[in-house]
Amino acid sequence: MLTLFDGDGPSARVLAQLRGPQPRRRLLSSGPDLTLQFQAPPGPPNPGLGQGFVLHFKEVPRNDTCPELPPPEWGWRTASHGDLIRGTVLTYQCEPGYELLGSDILTCQWDLSWSAAPPACQKIMTCADPGEITNGHRTTSDAGFPVGSHVQYRCLPGYSLEGAAVLTCYSRDTGTPKWSDRVPKCALKYEPCLNPGVPENGYQTLYKHHYQAGESLRFFCYEGFELIGEVTITCVPGHPSQWTSQPPLCKVTQTTDPSRQLEGGNLALAILLPLGLVLVLGCGVYIYYTKLQGKSLFGFSGSHSYSPITVESDFSNPLYEAGDTREYEVSI
């Protein structure tokens, strides 16, 4: 048996093992060295059967590269070496919107052949699986999600769908096909909050009867009124949903400018002073009539005789003698 090694020594790669009659064949080494190993079959020698070997050696130009492979249409390839020598690895990729048909990695083998046929790039005509939803289910119009197919989502009882209920797979000029919207979600359904009402002497923004969980309501007071409480309240989800606090109140503003306090005092003084004078004059005037005997009310000097004074009156004693005194009160 004859063993041929591609290199210097039996540790090199085996090119061929020849035994018995062989057709004429051609072997190509990878380098200038070639090792031949002869091995006789076990047992005593048999000269009659020994035919021997005829080897023809010829130096040929070096050829240790694999055949050139063109890049794929709608794609490209990268090589691990500049020359396609043994052990060179080719990596194939496709442009966006195309998928690779075949192996994405090819290796140049020792016999200068590629490990697989070159791949091709084919336009993608399907969307990726959008996935299921929690607390819900879906129905599809076509298997494999080709371009133009639809996926419809529904939620279980007690849950509401947030997002688009139907997704459509559509093609793009560049890139892979895409769904028309994001996958929706099934959220727990909450009862809305009722409008707590408008505070007296105030108003709300965006007045409506019901507010969904998470929505807020803002309050304002008219001019001259002060808001007491929370300006903004939020609907907290629950069964039922509730506001974060009670609506505020609008009370009259109690602040007064000090300069206006002084003006008010002057105004009060201007009003009360004349009124006080009128009250003093109107409280009563007492007139006293005095009849003095032997003395002139006007202080005249001299001696004169006076006659009794007679005064008509409604009282029971109309006659007054000299020296008598009577007091009269006259109210004005």
Most confident of the ranges 48-52, 158-162, 174-178:
158-162
Q: What is the mean pLDDT of residues 96-113?
A: 91
- Long-range (24+ apart) CB contacts under 8 A made by 286-294 are 286/329, 286/330, 287/328, 287/329, 287/330, 288/327, 288/328, 289/326, 289/327, 289/328, 290/325, 291/320, 291/322, 291/323, 291/324, 291/325, 291/326, 292/323, 293/322, 293/323, 294/322, 294/323
Query: Over 80: is that where the pLDDT of 301 sits?
Result: no
- Which fold is adopted by the domain 136-188? Complement Module; domain 1 (2.10.70)
Q: 13-26, pLDDT tens digit by residue?
A: 898 888 777 777 77
Angle at 143 between CA 139 and CA 144, to 5 degrees: 120
Query: In angstroms, what CA-CA distances link 126 with 23, 101, 258?
Result: 54, 15, 79
Rounded to whole angstroms, how far apart are CA atoms 2 and 18?
A: 5
Query: In angstroms, what CA-CA distances link 177 with 90, 170, 173, 255?
Result: 28, 5, 9, 67
Q: Are 137 and 118 in contact (CB under 8 A)?
A: no
What backbone torsions phi and psi does residue 67 show, to the nearest 5 degrees? Answer: -65, 150
The DSSP bridge partners found for residue 227 are 250
Query: In angstroms, what CA-CA distances link 230 with 71, 220, 243, 246, 283?
Result: 70, 10, 11, 8, 57
Rounded to whole angstroms, how far apart are CA atoms 193 and 233?
A: 11
Q: Is-above-0.85 flag for pTM?
A: no
E-strand stretches of 7-60: 13-18, 35-38
Half-sphere exposure of 255 (CA within 13 A, CB side): 6
Pick the CATH number of 75-123 from 3.30.590.10, 1.10.260.40, 3.90.180.10, 2.10.70.10: 2.10.70.10
Q: 127-139, pLDDT tens digit by residue?
A: 999 999 999 999 9
Q: What is the mean pLDDT of residues 172-191?
A: 87
The yes or no reply on domain 193-252 and CATH 2.10.70.10 is yes
Task: Decide: helix, strand or coil at residue 31.
Answer: coil
Give me the sheet containing 13-18, strands edge to edge.
13-18, 2-6, 35-38
Of 205, 206, 210, the closest CA to residue 240 belongs to 210
For residue 29, the tally of other CB atoms under 10 A from its CB is: 18
- Pull the structure tokens for residue 40: 């006789």
> For residue 324, what pLDDT is reported?
58
Rounded to whole angstroms, how far apart are CA atoms 112 and 108?
A: 6
- Residue 269 DSSP code: H
User: Where do the CATH 2.10.70.10 domains begin and end in the chain?
Assistant: 75-123, 136-188, 193-252
Task: Decide: helix, strand or coil at residue 262.
Answer: helix
What backbone torsions phi and psi does residue 44 show, to the nearest 5 degrees? Answer: -70, 150
Q: 199-244, pLDDT tens digit by residue?
A: 999 999 888 888 988 899 999 999 999 999 999 999 998 778 899 9
* pLDDT greater at residue 10 or residue 266: 10
Query: Over 60: is that where the pLDDT of 295 sits?
Result: no
